[in-house]
Structure 1
Amino acid sequence: MVSKGWITFQIVQFVFFLCVSVFLFTRTIDGHGTVQTLEVKLISFAVWGIFYLGTLATEWLAYFVVRRFKH
């Protein structure tokens, strides 16, 4: 069974992902002063999404490895 703390952390991490995603789509100029077009926003979101999915995959892999060696 997955612990409540781990589920809570996953929910908080997903909410953080959504907040950053909204920020990426609502900003008009990035930190370098470049105007954000739709294409640039989609590229930024793709990079952010790949990072999030990689982090999520690593966490799930660690969970299954720990779970396997506990039993």
Structure 2
Amino acid sequence: MKNKGWKILQIIQLIIFLCFSAFLFTRTVDGHGTVQTLEVKLISFAIWAAFYLGVLAIEWLIYVIVRRSKKQN
């Protein structure tokens, strides 16, 4: 029951990631007015994916630390 909130948070984050990824691939012009080529879209996606993976890594570390501290008690 306690992990239910954690799973819901992960699903919400995945949905946000997918929606923003779709936005990055469907836009034709970015905020500066630059035309988005396939190479620029892939670079934008790579940066977005690296950020998302970084957030997931931090959350995973927190999850592991909390889980270990509860096992010791």
Given the two structures, how large is their TM-score scaled by the length of structure 1? 0.96
**1:19-70 Cα shifts (integer Å, max 9, x gaps):** 0000000000000000000000000000000000000010001000010011
Task: Give 5+ residue unaligned stretches, structure 1.
Answer: none
CA distance in 1, matches of 2:69, 2:5: 20
Task: Give 5+ residue unaligned stretches, structure 2.
Answer: none
Matched residue, 1:46: 46
Paired residue type of 1:59: E
- For 1:16-55, list aligned pairs within 5 A: 16-55=16-55
Q: Aligned pairs, how many?
A: 71
Given the two structures, how large is their TM-score scaled by the length of structure 2? 0.94
| Identity among equivalent pairs (%) | 69
CA distance in 2, matches of 1:19, 1:31: 18
